[in-house]
């Protein structure tokens, strides 16, 4: 038994692309076979058929028309598949038997550049991570824009820092050497939508990587970093290798990998990032209700993406921040200028992604036209900026290239309304190329001739209804109705019979037909050639276009921030290194926006070295969480270079923001609320410095009251005495307010009034404390029935009378809680063990598995020990 030659060819190619769905070009279709066909037919909801595969065997098959392939590929990519596109690389007309086929590109979630798979205002990252003895190299790229970055993490927090960065990036595809499976599983626990591609260790070798990068980007590629950041270089090299292997082209759009360091930016760990809802809401992962949702007034896709980067990476350098603020201030004061530039920017296309399409050779005439239309606006934009004084804008104005040459050639060459396809002609504008004009003329005059033939033949034959027509199969013909057939002359040759008419040709018609068709064929070919030549020219300018795109993006973001500042009534913060945070009449940017202007009650905040910890008490629903997030967001906004929702603000730069907010269960991750809470606290305790801002919202809520109070108290003390970071700490345990004895701690509360057993929230933060929780009043507001409420009141009275517990005893029970958690993880391991089939594992896999269990247990231990230690230290104080 053997398969047909075609299926054999298929299998041979498929062998090299095992983890992709192979799109096998056959004529006008891409066909899929075997398992690919079964899977793809389900994912794409197309019919699964079968084909004779030779030796009497049926092979499962499904297919999609080639002209619609992009849509189908997009759908597969969005479901996390990879697609290997295999084309016929010989003209079937010119070969006997099997045509040669080759995979011309593998499209993967991290390498798509097609618009259908991409979000306008979001980068699409392919990331690569490499870990060795506790250090990590990280590189990432966005092939659709050309961005390519790398960095390295060392020191005791390296693992969590690299995870935090990966969390920020949310890559859609992830490359890693086979050996780092533990790290990846860990990451996957948090982020289910990235595709993981395991890379051969060989491709992570330093020498290979360095050579590859130099070959691609020139031998003088920054040498300092390449020596000092070997892991980063290796991660970048692996990416480059993967791109070259899958994309099979020169990747003109890719910038040389650029090094960056995490301390250039405000550090925000992943849970704080999630909690602060900067670009993604916790509830459903959308933009609605996030900081960027409030701030985004950008007009271009490039600006939208850059704003997201700025929001995700606030700065720490006072000078850089003030440069941005200067520009925002200038633009915010000049409404007319802003409006004028916005009007221009609205008509600028996504230059970065157009540039990528050009360098991929997939740009069509409409794409080049879009470039031309964008370039056309540059002189006006430049002109509008001339009067500006802010350094950042002046720099943009002075270095903005107007792309005149490219603009001119594109204007002369491309027709006003070219078709989508680049193979059908109609692309090149008249007057650009003499041969194009001549061929067009030939085809046009041929058509005129044919029109003349119609009237001549009518006269000659006396058939008044005689018509000259055209169809694809028979070409040009003369049509005569049945009733006139008797008048048809000798020299007509019959070609086709219809119900009411017959169609004929004449030698003369054939002659013109050849002229017209010949001209048209040559014309479309020539237009195609001229077009690709143009595309090549544009391709050579891709780096220029990218620089231009970047400048316009910065301009767009600055205008967007100015626009937000104006329409939302924000002020310029004073940004310095004072270690103070002083906010007058501050508002929460998102809550305010949702409520509507004027509804939100503004509040003060005052933190400095002396008064560095605000202990905020107040009943549920008073507004504690809102207030604390507001302080964090205002600080962060200032460091982005944005104006802030306040009447005035001074922000002494913070190096990190930590937020421990709310009780979000990480059920999927297998951790209870309390466990999540405590691991987040561990992170804070480990990483925070005296320059950080810490927000802790009701820590200890996840466990029993006395455990909770003890842990909260110990944490407050530790942060105050040892870390000395600026901190907002909310609690509904009013027992903690006696901590005020410590010099840097101030009690604040949110004002509420009680009226006829009902509670009224005034939302005003004031110095002072509450001595009760108002839980029952809040429950009443929520509509709990009177019967339940009065029972609750009785219980409360009883409880308050019996309150004689010893908190130290309870501290120990916190440890017991931990033990039950440890049991959870042992249980998980036992369960995993029972599912494993040792016979089907390689020794390496088994070793890895054991190592990951050990890690799990040790992590658990670490947290426990740390906690117990901390608790003991504090309770002794
Ligand atoms: N300053 C404010 N002005 C107006 N409404 C507020 C303010 N602060 C909070 N709120 C409203 O009160 C609700 C409860 O606030 P929240 O911060 O969750 O309270 P807590 O954390 O004290 O339970 C919020 O959903 C918000 O709508
Ligand atoms: Mg709250």
User: Where do the domains of the chain lie?
Assistant: 5-107, 118-264, 296-403+541-567, 434-535, 574-773, 808-876
Read off the pLDDT of residues 394-404 as tens digits, 9 standing for 90 and up.
999 999 999 99
Residue of 626, 731, 732, 764 with the most ligand 1 atoms within 8 Å of its CB, for mutation: 626
> Chain-centre distance of CA 56, in angstroms?
49
The CATH homologous superfamily for domain 118-264 is: MutS, connector domain (3.30.420.110)
574-773 CATH, one of 3.40.50.300, 3.40.50.720, 3.90.226.10, 3.30.390.50: 3.40.50.300
Mean pLDDT, rounded, for 648-668: 80
**Looking at ligand 1, which residue's alpha carbon is closest to its atom 14?**
621
Q: Helix, strand or coil for residue 473?
A: coil
> In sequence order, what are the residues at sequence separation of 6 or more whose Cβ sits closer than 8 angstroms to the Cβ of residue 791?
none
User: Diameter of the chain by CA atoms?
Assistant: 122
Read off the pLDDT of residues 489-545 as tens digits, 9 standing for 90 and up.
989 999 889 999 999 999 988 888 888 888 889 999 999 999 999 999 999 999 999
pLDDT at 651 over 70: yes
Query: What is the rounded end-to-end Cα distance, in angstroms, of the chain?
Result: 83
Mean pLDDT, rounded, for 8-36: 95
Mean pLDDT, rounded, for 178-194: 68
Kind of pairing, strands 574-576 and 648-652?
parallel
**Residue 101's pLDDT is what?**
96
Mean pLDDT, rounded, for 240-266: 93
pLDDT at 277 over 50: yes
Binned at pLDDT 50, 70 and 90, residue 702 comes out as: low
Average pLDDT, the chain: 88
Token pair 């058509």 is at which residue? 447
**E strands, 665-757, in order:** 693-697, 726-731, 745-755
Enumerate residues lining ligand 1, CB below 6 A: 591, 600-601, 603, 618, 620-626, 763
Concatenate the DSSP letters of all residues of 166-211 into one string. HHHH--SEEEEEGGGHHHHHHHHHH-TTPEEEEE-GGGG-HHHHHH
Give the Cα separation of 698 and 712 in Å (integer). 8
C-alpha 623 – ligand 2 centre gap (Å): 7
pLDDT at 14 over 90: yes
Residue of 586, 589, 623 with the most ligand 1 atoms within 8 Å of its CB, for mutation: 623
pLDDT at 448 over 70: yes
**Residue 663's pLDDT is what?**
55
Binned at pLDDT 50, 70 and 90, residue 61 comes out as: very high
**Residue 824's pLDDT is what?**
59
- Poorest-confidence range of 192-196, 451-455, 685-689? 192-196
C-alpha 431 – ligand 1 centre gap (Å): 67
Kind of pairing, strands 58-65 and 49-52?
antiparallel
296-403+541-567 against 434-535: fold identical: yes
Give the Cα separation of 68 and 205 in Å (integer). 40
- Poorest-confidence range of 246-255, 295-304, 523-532, 829-838? 829-838
Ligand nearest to the CA of 592: 1
CB neighbour class for 379 (10 Å; exposed up to 12, middle 13-18, buried from 19): middle
Binned at pLDDT 50, 70 and 90, residue 804 comes out as: very low
* 859 belongs to an annotated ligand binding site: no
Read off the pLDDT of residues 137-163 as tens digits, 9 standing for 90 and up.
999 999 999 999 999 999 988 988 998
Concatenate the DSSP letters of all residues of 475-536 into one string. EEEEEEEGGGGGG--TT-EEEEE-SSEEEEE-HHHHHHHHHHHHHHHHHHHHHHHHHHHHHH
The structure tokens listed for 300 are: 């271009």
Give the Cα separation of 219 and 272 in Å (integer). 41
Nearest residue to 811 via CA among 716, 736, 710, 739: 710
CA distances 494 to 473, 515, 578, Å, are 14, 22, 96
Mean pLDDT, rounded, for 767-795: 82
**Residue 836's pLDDT is what?**
78
Q: Residue 606 region, left (φ>0) first, then alpha (ψ -120 to 50), else beta?
A: beta
pLDDT at 855 over 90: no
> How is residue 694 annotated by DSSP?
E
Q: Which residue has the higher pLDDT, 549 or 846?
A: 549
Read off the pLDDT of residues 67-102 as tens digits, 9 standing for 90 and up.
999 999 999 999 989 999 999 999 888 888 899 999
Kind of pairing, strands 475-481 and 501-505?
antiparallel
**Residue 671's pLDDT is what?**
62
The CATH code belonging to domain 434-535 is: 1.10.1420.10
The CATH homologous superfamily for domain 5-107 is: DNA repair protein MutS, domain I (3.40.1170.10)
**Residue 781's pLDDT is what?**
82
Count the Cβ atoms, other than its own, within 10 Å of residue 697: 21
C-alpha 621 – ligand 2 centre gap (Å): 7
Fold of 296-403+541-567: MutS, DNA mismatch repair protein; Chain A, domain 3 (1.10.1420)
* 624 belongs to an annotated ligand binding site: yes
pLDDT at 219 over 90: no
**Residue 817's pLDDT is what?**
40
Q: Residue 757 region, left (φ>0) first, then alpha (ψ -120 to 50), else beta?
A: left
**Residue 205's pLDDT is what?**
94
pLDDT at 673 over 70: yes
């Amino acid at each position: 038994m053997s398969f047909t030659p075609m299926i054999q060819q298929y299998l041979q190619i498929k062998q090299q692309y095992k983890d992709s769905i192979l799109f096998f070009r056959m004529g006008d279709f891409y066909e899929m076979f075997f398992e690919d066909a079964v899977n793809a037919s389900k994912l794409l909801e197309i019919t699964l058929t079968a084909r004779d595969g030779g030796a009497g065997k049926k092979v499962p098959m499904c297919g999609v028309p080639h002209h619609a392939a992009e849509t189908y590929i997009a759908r597969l990519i969005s479901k996390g598949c990879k697609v290997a596109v295999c084309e016929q690389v010989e003209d079937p007309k010119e070969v006997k038997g099997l045509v040669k086929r080759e995979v011309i590109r593998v499209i993967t979630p991290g390498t798509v550049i097609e618009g259908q798979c991409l979000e306008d205002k979001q980068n699409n990252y392919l990331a690569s991570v490499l870990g060795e003895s506790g250090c990590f190299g990280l590189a990432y790229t966005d092939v659709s824009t050309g961005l390519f970055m790398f960095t390295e993490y060392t020191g005791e927090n390296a693992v969590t820092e690299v995870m935090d960065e990966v969390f920020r990036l949310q890559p859609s595809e992830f490359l890693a050497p086979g050996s780092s499976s533990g790290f990846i599983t860990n990451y996957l626990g948090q982020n289910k939508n990235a595709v993981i591609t395991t890379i051969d260790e060989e491709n992570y070798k330093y020498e290979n990587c360095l050579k590859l990068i130099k070959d691609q980007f020139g031998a003088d590629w920054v040498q300092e970093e390449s020596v000092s950041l070997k892991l980063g270089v290796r991660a970048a090299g692996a990416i480059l290798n993967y791109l070259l292997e899958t994309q099979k082209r020169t990747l003109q759009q890719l910038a040389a990998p650029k090094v960056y360091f995490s301390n250039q930016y405000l550090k925000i760990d992943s849970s704080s990032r999630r909690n602060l809802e900067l670009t993604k809401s916790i509830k459903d992962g959308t933009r609605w209700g996030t900081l960027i949702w409030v701030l985004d007034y950008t007009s271009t896709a490039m600006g939208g993406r850059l704003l997201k980067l700025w929001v995700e990476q606030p700065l720490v350098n006072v000078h850089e921040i003030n440069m941005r603020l200067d520009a925002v201030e200038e633009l915010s004061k000049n409404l007319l200028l802003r409006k004028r530039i916005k009007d221009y920017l609205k008509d600028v296309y996504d230059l970065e992604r157009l540039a990528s399409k050009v360098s991929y050779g997939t740009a069509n005439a409409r794409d080049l036209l879009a470039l031309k239309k964008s370039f056309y606006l540059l002189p006006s934009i430049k002109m509008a900026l001339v009067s500006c004084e802010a350094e950042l804008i002046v720099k943009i104005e002075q270095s903005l290239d107007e792309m005149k040459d490219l603009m001119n050639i594109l204007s002369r060459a491309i027709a006003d309304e070219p078709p989508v396809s680049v193979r059908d002609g109609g692309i090149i504008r008249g007057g650009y190329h003499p041969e194009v004009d001549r061929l067009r003329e030939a085809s046009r005059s041929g058509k005129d001739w044919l029109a003349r033939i119609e009237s001549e033949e009518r006269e000659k034959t006396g058939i008044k209804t005689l018509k000259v027509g055209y169809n694809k199969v028979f070409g040009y013909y003369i049509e005569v109705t049945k009733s006139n057939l008797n008048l048809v002359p000798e020299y007509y040759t019959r070609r086709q019979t219809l119900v009411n008419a017959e169609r004929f040709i004449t030698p003369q018609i054939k002659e013109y037909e050849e002229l017209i068709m010949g001209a048209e064929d040559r014309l479309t070919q020539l237009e195609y050639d001229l077009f690709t030549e143009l595309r090549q020219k544009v391709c050579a300018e891709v780096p220029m276009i990218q620089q231009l795109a970047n400048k316009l993006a910065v301009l767009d973001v600055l205008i967007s921030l100015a626009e937000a500042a104006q329409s939302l009534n924000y002020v310029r913060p004073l940004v310095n290194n004072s270690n103070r945070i002083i906010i007058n009449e501050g508002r929460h940017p998102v809550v305010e926006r949702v409520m509507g202007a004027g509804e939100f009650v503004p509040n003060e905040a005052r933190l400095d070295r002396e008064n560095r910890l605000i202990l905020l008490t107040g009943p549920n629903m008073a507004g504690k969480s809102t207030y604390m997030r507001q302080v964090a967001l205002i600080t962060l906004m200032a460091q982005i270079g944005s104006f802030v929702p306040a009447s005035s603000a001074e922000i002494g730069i913070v190096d990190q923001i930590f937020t421990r907010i709310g009780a979000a269960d990480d059920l999927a991750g297998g951790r209870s609320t309390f466990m999540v809470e405590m691991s987040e606290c561990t992170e804070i305790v480990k990483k925070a410095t005296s320059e950080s801002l810490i927000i802790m919202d009701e820590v200890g809520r996840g466990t029993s009251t006395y455990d909770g109070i003890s842990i909260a108290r110990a944490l407050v003390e530790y942060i105050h005495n040892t870390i000395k970071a600026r901190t907002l700490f909310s609690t509904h345990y009013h027992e903690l307010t006696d901590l005020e004895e410590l010099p840097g701690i101030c009690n604040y509360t949110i004002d509420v009034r009680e009226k006829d057993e009902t509670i009224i929230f005034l939302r005003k933060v004031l110095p002072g404390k509450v001595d009760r929780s108002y839980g029952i009043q809040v429950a009443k507001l929520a509509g709990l029935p009177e019967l339940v409420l009065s029972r609750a009141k009785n219980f409360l009275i009883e409880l308050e009378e019996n309150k004689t517990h010893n908190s130290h005893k309870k501290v120990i029970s916190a440890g017991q809680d931990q033990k039950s958690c440890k049991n959870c993880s042992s249980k998980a391991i036992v369960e995993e063990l029972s599912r494993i089939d040792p016979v089907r594992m390689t020794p390496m896999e088994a070793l890895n598995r054991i190592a990951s269990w050990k890690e799990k247990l040790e992590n658990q231990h670490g947290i426990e020990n740390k906690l117990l230690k901390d608790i003991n230290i504090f309770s002794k104080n």
